[in-house]
Amino acid sequence: MSISQYIKEIGRGAAGARSLDRTQSQDLMAQVLDGQVTDLEIGAFALAMRVKGETVDELIGFADAMQARTLMIDSDRPVVVIPSYNGARKLPNLTPLLAMCLAQEGVRVLVHGQRHDKARVTSCEVFAALGMPPLESAAAVHECWRRHEPAFVLTETLCPPLQRLLDVRWVVGLRNAGHTIAKLMQPIAGAPALRLASHTHPEFGALMGEFARRTAADLMLLRGTEGEAVADPRRCPKIETWLGGASAAELGCPAQEGTLAELPLLPRAIDAATVAVYIQAVLSGEKPTPAPLERQVALLLQGIARLQSAPAKERRA
């Protein structure tokens, strides 16, 4: 079906729009990613979906199309996959710290995201300040893992057409469905990938949970810190985990309640250089790791251990 027909269905406004099924959604996103549509049609699609919002069937179909066009990286061990598409605006971006803490424990970690954001400090910039530039090949990723370092790969390397869709934001001024599915990318072949996902609204969190169940995903979900899938260093958020699409309550925790006894020691500025110095101080033991982040690391280590020990036939993801 042509994209114009799909736009007619999804573009009738918040009350009149009709949702697409999984097959239709996959076909629509495939046309967008393969450049079979005009810039005007892409803009119409982006705005229509922004008004309507994605259903779980649409989300799965969009993700199917993205996955078919994603560079896959082989691994013989489970990998923690961390999307980083929001960056920091007020708080330091500690996604690289989370990744490096896991890597120090021997976990294979792949972080993916964009190079720059006009209004935020990206993980790419923090990693670069730590002397860890983006990687451009699977071989380079494996070399990082051999050194017990996290690997950061740009979206434009893993899925070039998806990056083009993300760039539409700078024209229309709004995020689109591409930003949602980018956070669900699964670029690992040969082993389970425990993906991190975040939400800022309960409704979207429920959608992510249904996505995990429907796709038999290995997924850790938490309220994002300015949109990043890392625990807020000041107060631990609610964390939920699914393995093979089944809820794993023991790999989650409730949101921290009550008054904080003390605030964690955080850098006063959020620029990449300052945050990089702070991360190095934490990793060396000079400064303490924020307790919520320690908790998230511990839960991820348990999840990876479960995936590592599970027989291949029991892995549904």
How many beta carbons lie within 10 A of that of residue 258, not counting itself?
6
Q: Are 184 and 254 members of one domain?
A: yes
CB 182 within 8 Å of CB 155: yes
* CA distance linking residue 177 with residue 46, whole number of Å: 7
pLDDT digits (tens, 9 = 90+) for 212-253: 999 999 999 999 999 999 999 999 999 999 999 999 999 999
* CA distance linking residue 24 with residue 191, whole number of Å: 29
Judge whether residue 316 has pLDDT over 50.
no
Judge whether residue 189 has pLDDT over 90.
yes
CATH number, domain of 240, equals 3.40.1030.10
Q: Are 88 and 61 members of one domain?
A: no
Q: Are 247 and 204 members of one domain?
A: yes
Q: Are 173 and 289 members of one domain?
A: yes
Please report the pLDDT score of residue 118 as a whole number: 87
Q: What is the mean pLDDT of residues 109-132?
A: 96
Q: What angle do CA 249, 255, 261 make, to 5 degrees?
A: 135
Q: Are 50 and 149 members of one domain?
A: no
Query: The domain containing residue 293 runs over which residues?
Result: 73-314
| Residue where a domain stops, chosen among 52, 67, 82 | 67
Written as six digits, the tokens of 76 are: 């013989």
Please report the pLDDT score of residue 313 as a whole number: 46
Q: Are 237 and 212 members of one domain?
A: yes
| Residue where a domain stops, chosen among 45, 67, 89 | 67
Rounded alpha-carbon distances, angstroms, from residue 48 to 16, 147, 268: 11, 45, 40
pLDDT digits (tens, 9 = 90+) for 50-99: 999 999 999 999 999 999 999 999 999 999 999 999 999 999 999 999 99
Please report the pLDDT score of residue 12 as a whole number: 87
Q: What is the mean pLDDT of residues 297-311?
A: 93
Is the overall model pTM greater than 0.85, yes or no? yes
Please report the pLDDT score of residue 16 as a whole number: 85
pLDDT digits (tens, 9 = 90+) for 258-302: 766 677 889 999 999 999 999 999 999 999 999 999 999 999 999
DSSP-derived 3-state class of residue 50:
helix
DSSP-derived 3-state class of residue 270:
coil
Mean pLDDT for all residues in the chain: 94
Please report the pLDDT score of residue 132 as a whole number: 97
Q: Are 235 and 200 members of one domain?
A: yes
Q: Are 81 and 55 members of one domain?
A: no
Give percent of the chain with pLDDT exceeding 90.
87
Give how far the C-alpha of residue 245 lies from the chain's centroid of Cα atoms, to the nearest Å.
17
Please report the pLDDT score of residue 200 as a whole number: 87
How many beta carbons lie within 10 A of that of residue 196, not counting itself?
26
Count structural domains, the chain.
2
Written as six digits, the tokens of 174 are: 């709004």
Please report the pLDDT score of residue 42 as a whole number: 94
Query: Across 4-18, 132-146, 172-186, which has the greatest mean pLDDT?
Result: 132-146
| Residue where a domain stops, chosen among 67, 89, 106 | 67
